[in-house]
Structures are given as structure tokens and as C-alpha cells.
Structure 1
Amino acid sequence: MIEDTATRPILGPPPVRHWPALDLTGTDFDPVLAELMREGPVTRIQLPHGEGWAWLVTRYDDVRMVTNDPRFTRAPVVDRQVTRLAPHFKPKPGSLAFADQQDHNRLRGAVAAAFTTRGVQRLRSRAQDALDELVDRMLADGPPADLTQRVLEPFPIAVVCEVMGVPAADRERMHAWTRQIVSSAGAAASARAKDGMYGWFTEAIRSRYGSTEEDVISLLGAAVGRGEISEDEAIGLAGPLQIGGEAVTNNTGNMFYLLLTRPKLLERLRTEPAVRPRAIDELLRYIPHRSAVGLARIAQEDVEIRGVRISAGDPVYVSYLAANRDPDVFPDPERIDFDRAPNPHVAFGHGPHYCMGGMLARMQTELLIDTLIDRLPGLRLAVPAEEIPWRRSTLIRGPEALPVGW
């Protein structure tokens, strides 16, 4: 919400609030973010790494405005040490996440064919076969089992590697690199993992110049071969797309933890399959997708948001988690309501940087919900909820393990 500065006096800047890197357990909302939301729609934060402070925008309408307004751009972040959660920060030249609109459209177009509705649906039956095989093995071994280790990790790895065109022999290595990169601890380990992953992509992309296949690496190789994008851009684009599979593991882990600790919700999904699409949207709205905030933007000119002046050059963060709890858009936002309609959540982002793999992630989530609920009658936690281990020092929240019986 941008207001006319001529009709309303500019408010003084709010104090800078330190936002530490918290190791949160369960699916409880981040207490620091909750405090910031109560303090106002526009606040100032300082994260554990980088320099200075940044604005934080939390209201739904404001988040959508900032993420879709060319006056706020990510490209200048690359040359600055903006305050941030992760200690390591070294984006590649072709990183889609930091591209301005013109380059963003060019880069995204190079791989768009792999993420269209047609492309995702073409993959659906192969993904279902891979999931059924994992569940078959788990059922054959019998309960208890770690749902994360047996299904929620290997399934997204298989799917994203299929989309990317990563051979089966390299998938475990690719997964290990991904886990190191998304950790918020250990800059040296993360840098080594990035070097390994990007080195692998360099060789793979070079081997596919002139390819006519529709996996991502082949599309990138062909685009480089035609001179549409550079090799550095192709490599910088491949990495984040590969890492995206990790989000599905954590998001579905959060979902199943919620369902297993709220048996009435799980029973409703079991007995009313028609409600599952709405339920998935509500779970996507509710779950804590990440720790703190993601990537900053830089204001290109003075902008006023809700009576607060953001000056040109100021870094600005938005919180999709906070936007998904805005009571003006989602009445009673702390309640999980499978009948919530409409449900315009921003779990996959908004604007030009809307998650390219959003449809793919949604497809995987649907398959996991349907398959595990239908094939595992009596699905339940095998340990008390308070004994579930949670990922620590990571940018993406989720259970480290999810021991279950059935």
C-alpha cells in the first residue's frame, strides 16, 4: 500500500531490531517475526551476517506490491553486503534470483519448457512410479520407519534430478551438495559444495550443446549453443533449480508433522479425498517454509509504504510467512482451515520471481499426500511429538526425521 506523501506526514524510522538465527522446533511461528508483525507493517531488522540494517515489510498487500514493483530490484544486492541470515553469499552471474526484469525473462525462457503445465504433467506418471517403488520398499520392511529418510527425501531428489537430467549415478552426490549449500552454518563447506555442484553442471552443460531433449541441462546446453545465454548464466541458473527439491522435502515434512499431531485433520483427508486440494493450499499457507527471510531487494528511488519513507538505496525484505498470516486477508490466520476459500497464499512467492518450480512442487506434494494417506492406513508418529528432531542451522525449516508407524 503506497500512500500519497502530500496528504500524510512521514513517520520517523522505527528502531532496528536484531533477528538472531533461531533453531526452531516444530511448526510454531517464528516468535521474532510475530513480534515484528505486532510492532508495525514496516519495521527495521538486523540479521546475523552482512552489514547494516534492512526494512522488513510484512502485510500481504505491501509484500505483493514490493515484489512486483520495478522500483525494488535484487540485482544491486550482488555488489553489497546486505544484512542477511546466511554467512555465505556468492551468487553466480546467471542467478535467476538476482536478475533484473529483461535478463530474468531471457534466462527463464531458456528453461521454461521443463516447467510448463504440459511438462509437469508429462512427468507425473513417472513420478508416481518412483513414489510407489519407495513406498513398496517401506511397506515390505514394515514399521516403524523414518518417513523422511525412506520417502520425503529420496522422492523429490528423484523428481528434480529427472527434470534436470541428472543421471542416477550422480544423484546422491547432488543431494549431498544441496544439503551443504542450504545449511546456514559453515561458509567454507558451503563454498566447497557450490564448487562441486557448479563444476558438475559446467561439464554436463558443455556436453549437451545442440541437444533437442527437454530436461533442464539439455535446454541450457542448447541455449548456450545458440548463443542465447552464456555458459556462466546457464551454470548459475542450474544450481538454484537443482536445490529446489530440498524445499519439497522440508515442506511435506512439516505438513505430515502437522497432520500426525492433529489426527482429526488427517482423518478428514483420509475420508474426504475431495478436500485434499484445498487442504494442500491451506497447509502451504500455514507451514513455516523457511527461517527468517530470504533475499533482499534494493529501493531504486524514495518510496513511502504506510507512512514510512524508504529511501533510494535502502535494502528491503518481504516476509511471505507474515503475509500468509495477515488477518485482513486470512481471517483467524492461526487456525488450519481446510475449507478456507479463497486462499490466495503467497507460499511460492509473487511477481517476476514467483517460484519457477511451483507447479512441480505442487504436483509432488499432491502425489505424496494422496499416496501416503491412501496406502498407509493408521499412519501415526512412532515417537512422542516432542522427540521429533528438527533441522538445525539451516535456511529451510523442517523435521530431520519423522519416525512413523501404520
Structure 2
Amino acid sequence: MTEETTTLTSQAPQPPVRDWPPIDLTGTDFDPVLAELMREGPLNRIRLPHGEGWAWLATRYDDVKMITNDPRFGRAEVTTRQVTRMAPHFKPRPGSLAFADQPDHNRLRQPVAGAFTVGAMKRLRPRAKALLDSLVDGVVAHGPPADLIERVLEPFPLAVVSEVMGVPEENREQVHSWTRQIISTSGGAEAADRAKNGMYAWITDTIRARADSDGTDVYSLLGTAVARGDITEPEAVGLAGPLQIGGEAVTHNCGQMLYLMLTRPDLLERLRGQPECREGALDELLRYIPHRSSVGLARIALEDVELHGQRISAGDPVYVSYLAANRDPDVFPDPDRIDVDRDPNPHLALGNGPHYCTGAVLARLQTELLVDTLLDRLPGLQLAVPAEEIVWRRKTMIRGPQTLPVTW
């Protein structure tokens, strides 16, 4: 990391600005740059590969919870700035929940909230289970070996998210192609723009076509919300895009979880033999896995805020690291160890505050079904190649194995 130091006469010296380059990491290794930043102190300054300037970075659990739930830090202003960032492309759309502050956030979330409730997920569960069983039936019929990413972990979340969103069967592969490109950092801004333009044009047409729908899928809910005047069409389109992309995270998070199980025989044996431990184990694995590269979306300080003897000035961009917060030893003793009996386990893998993941209940449903079904239906499940031969995704914002060849 390179650095530069700024000393202000009115306060203590600020921490140096650290360059945080993108690193293609293998396996579930923790980012060494982030680990170094955590050791240096609770509040750092970072410069990412794209955008302009530098930003604050908070890594301690309590600070991350405070910042993500404090109205003095907002997201809306990020849309007007070229804040230092990981992504080469940055074109927020009106209606994106990710960049909405209150009260707009609640207004925008309301039309789709019903599609992601616990009750809605209970109703979805039998259909999701049937979709998954059909995929695993195909794997069993074909016999080992099989690539779990290709055969199960990609098609299952795509199918489930498509069910919730209301994507017709004939459009699902094209939509998946767009979302895959959007979360990739390869191809640059031009490739991402093409994917976004294609997907958002399709979303616009779909929402318009469902203005009179009585369906409970997301696109129908958005179409009728626009027709009622609750939200604008651009807002509806901006809402839908990130929800559609959400299935990618389930694929890669579950890929990491299964990789950890398959490379830790004691863990796998316990989860096979004691199904009652699986719920706690999934929380622990969610806490442990490095589900993303670097950091996500910034916030902007809307007024001066004092934190750890430093003044975060109004207008300063601020990042939080959920990955770092989930390894805070003050909250999670021995944080680098997987402990399926960890209790309590207040991890922040799904976010915190108003921007807590909209699809959190859906993601949990899919994760539970995947782990239960694969462990129960594929006896003797194990990697078909040495662990070091697993190919991992490169140049992407969401980490995970690209392939997961197994036998049983």
C-alpha cells in the first residue's frame, strides 16, 4: 500500500491515505489489506482504484453499527459525487434503495415489501424446494462427478429470484447474463453499461406491461404502484435492478460455505450427523466468509462527526466494512475460527440499519434449502479435485468459487 499523510493544525494528524488495490484472492482467505487496516486502528483513510479522492473507513463492529444507523451519514449525496470506489462503472438510477435516505427510503421500499416478508417466504418455500429437488434429481441421475456451481448453485437462485420477481422462463438466461456482467469488474465500464442498458430496458417494458396486473410478483407490484402514482416509473426501474441482481450473492456465498464444509471434514461430519446444528452453522459461516471484495457503497457525512479523536467533516465520504466488523475480537472471540456453537452471533453479513438487505429472508431460505438438500441427498459428498485446484472468480465484486467439482 502507498500512503500520504495530512496534518491539520486544528486537530491531531489524520491517518495516512492507504491505496487499496483490487486483489484476486484464492479460497476464503481474508483480504490482507483489510487485515492490515484493522490492525492500524479503528478509523482509516483509503483510496480505491476508481473515482476521486479518499474516504474514511470504519472497521470496528460498534462503529459500523453506529454509522449505518445514523442519519448524519447519508447515501443520496453519493449519486452526485465521484467518490473513490471499487467499481469502474457508477451510474445510480432514480429509485435505487441503495442510495435513498429517509423518508424516501421507506416510500420506495413499501411497494415491494410484501414480496419479501416471512409469510411470503413460507408460501414460496414449497415451490423453491421443488425447483431445487428437480435440479438435484438431474445431478443424481447423471451421477458423479458434477460441478455444483453449474448444476445447482447458479440455476437455483436464478430460478427462485425469477419466481419472486416475475421473470418469464424464456427470459431468465438473458437476465442472468446481464446480472453476471454487471457485478463483474472485467470488461470495464463499456461492458457493464451494455448489460445495464439491456437489463433496465427489459425491466422498463416488463413494468409497463403489468400496470393492470393483480399478481404478487415484484414486477406486478411495481407496475401497479406506478399506475397508482405511489412511485414514478424511473423509481420502479431503479428499485427492481438491484433486487434482480441479488440472486448472484446467494450463488457465491453458498459456494464459499460448501467449499469450507468440503475442506473441513470435521465440520462436514458434524453438519451431516447433527442437522439441528445447521442453523447456527449457517450464521457462523455467513459471519466468516469474505462475501465481497473490498467495500460496498459509501455514505457522505452530512455534518461534522467526531469519532476516535478524528473529525469526519461534513461532505467526507465514509465506508464501513461488514467483513471487518464480523471479525471484531471484542464481539466475536477468536474471530478467525469457525465456531458453529458461537452464541450469540450478531453478525452483520446482511447489513444493518435502513439498508439492511431487502432480500435477507429470501437469501436465508435459499441457503438453508441448498445446504440441507445437498448434504441429505448426496451421501459421501466430497471435492472431486484437490482443494488447491478449485477455480475462483476473478475481477468481481462478489467473491466465490467459479467451479465446485464434487463426487459422492
Give the shorter-chain TM-score range. over 0.9
Residue type at the aligned position of 1:54: A
Contact 1:279–1:338, Cα closer than 8 Å, also in 2: yes
Displacement of 1:210: 2.5
- Paired position in structure 2 for 1:79: 80
CA distance in 1, matches of 2:11, 2:63: 17
Equivalent runs, 1:155-174 vs 2, <5 Å: 155-174=156-175
- Paired position in structure 1 for 2:369: 367
Residue type at the aligned position of 2:102: Q
Which of 303, 306, 327 aligns to 1:304? It is 306
SS in 2 for 1:101: coil
Contact 1:177–1:196, Cα closer than 8 Å, also in 2: yes
> Structure 1 unaligned runs (5+)?
1-8
Aligned pair 1:111/2:146, yes or no?
no
Residue type at the aligned position of 1:201: I
Which of 178, 190, 193 aligns to 1:191? It is 193
Displacement of 1:10: 4.9
SS in 2 for 1:404: strand
Residues 135-187 of structure 1, C-alpha deviation per residue, up to 9 Å, x if partnerless? Answer: 00001000000000000000000000000000010000000000100001221
CA distance in 2, matches of 1:29, 1:21: 13
Contact 1:11–1:309, Cα closer than 8 Å, also in 2: no
Contact 1:59–1:326, Cα closer than 8 Å, also in 2: yes
- Paired position in structure 1 for 2:22: 21
Equivalent runs, 1:3-402 vs 2, <5 Å: 10-185=11-186, 186-402=188-404
Residues 62-121 of structure 1, C-alpha deviation per residue, up to 9 Å, x if partnerless? Answer: 000000000000100001000000110001111110011111101100100000001111
SS in 2 for 1:339: coil
Residues 319-375 of structure 1, C-alpha deviation per residue, up to 9 Å, x if partnerless? Answer: 000000000000000000000000000000000000000000000000001000000
Displacement of 1:11: 3.2
Displacement of 1:230: 0.2
Contact 1:299–1:315, Cα closer than 8 Å, also in 2: yes
CA distance in 2, matches of 1:349, 1:340: 19
CA distance in 2, matches of 1:12, 1:297: 23
CA distance in 2, matches of 1:22, 1:303: 32
CA distance in 2, matches of 1:242, 1:199: 13
SS in 1 for 2:103: helix
Displacement of 1:213: 1.1
CA distance in 2, matches of 1:92, 1:289: 24
Point out 4+ residue stretches in structure 1 off by more than 4 angstroms: none
Q: How many equivalent residue pairs?
A: 398
SS in 2 for 1:309: strand
CA distance in 2, matches of 1:126, 1:184: 34
CA distance in 2, matches of 1:244, 1:138: 25
> Structure 2 unaligned runs (5+)?
1-9
CA distance in 1, matches of 2:46, 2:363: 30
Residues 269-294 of structure 1, C-alpha deviation per residue, up to 9 Å, x if partnerless? Answer: 00000000000000000001100000
CA distance in 2, matches of 1:170, 1:309: 50
Residue type at the aligned position of 1:56: L
- Paired position in structure 1 for 2:3: none
Residue type at the aligned position of 2:26: T
CA distance in 2, matches of 1:238, 1:300: 28
CA distance in 2, matches of 1:354, 1:79: 23
User: TM-score, length-normalised on structure 1?
Assistant: 0.97
Residue type at the aligned position of 1:166: V
CA distance in 2, matches of 1:184, 1:305: 33
